Chain A
Amino acid sequence: MTVKQLIDSCGFTAAALPDGDREVSGVYIGDLLSWVMGRAGADEAWITIMSNRNIVAVATLADTACIILAEGVVPDEGVAALAAEKGVNILQSPLSAYETALRLRDAL
């Protein structure tokens, strides 16, 4: 399933969607950035509540398909624009990380 399809089927919104056709292969949840880089797999959707600029670099380097900001978190100022520029998809979910993951489980 692509990131774009995920938005439609899970009720997320897009803060930045420069690569909506990217395929999503799984899910990783975490807020400690080094931990995420050590464990998240390429092409996974990464659920987090961290919203600073560093998440764009982490998503780029770990090669995740998209970042999903859970709990209604919005990206810090300038982060959505930076993500769009760097080709990183950022979605927003009003749900908790757990409930967001459940939606993904049903969709994927």
Chain B
Amino acid sequence: MSDELSFRFDVDGDNFTSAGQASVQVKKDLRRLGIDPEIIRRVSIAMYEGEINMVIHAGGGVAEVRVTEEAVEIILADNGPGIADIEQAMQAGFSTAPDTIRSLGFGAGMGLPNMKRYTDYMDIQSTVGVGTTITMRVNLPEEEE
């Protein structure tokens, strides 16, 4: 059995300008655990993209990060509108974000592709009208005996 450490954050859906607080906090926490900087970078970018998505599309949600000996796992859950066509949403450049979000530099249709790109595993469970749960994992290198 491996020890497990977990962090949980409520992502505020009303405040776009403060989005990213959870990801920045996770970055700090992971650094304190002595995890490799490149792995921290991947985890925190993937989480930030997910956090931004929850703010833009779902009115916020809950982010949970679990650290085991094998991997860092990020679970993002919201009660937003859901994703009708996940395959389409995964395409780089596809976006349903409004212009106000685009003017802030987001909404380029790179969020989900970035999350996939930076993680070793990603699963999207979504029901239209109910919400979306995304699970991502970034593997930790095996410790040498």
**Cα A57 to Cα B117 with chains together (Å):** 19
Bound-complex Cα distance A60 to B40 (A): 11
Q: Does A22 contact B (CB under 8 A)?
A: no
Closest B residue, CB atoms, query A76: B17
Chain B neighbourhood of A50, CB < 8 A: 104-105
Interface segment, A10-18, A33-41, A66-74?
A: A33-41
Which residues in A have their C-beta under 8 angstroms from that of B117? Answer: 38
Per DSSP, chain B at the interface is helix
Query: Contact flags (1/0) for A21-65 with B, using CB distance below 8 Å?
Result: 000000000011111011000100000001011110110111100
- Chain B residues whose C-beta falls within 8 Å of the C-beta of A58 in the assembled complex: 20, 48
| Interface contact A54-B20, CB-CB below 8 Å | yes
Contact surface of B with A, Cβ cutoff 8 Å: 17-20, 23-24, 27, 37-38, 41, 44-45, 48-49, 52, 104-106, 108, 110-111, 113-114, 117-118
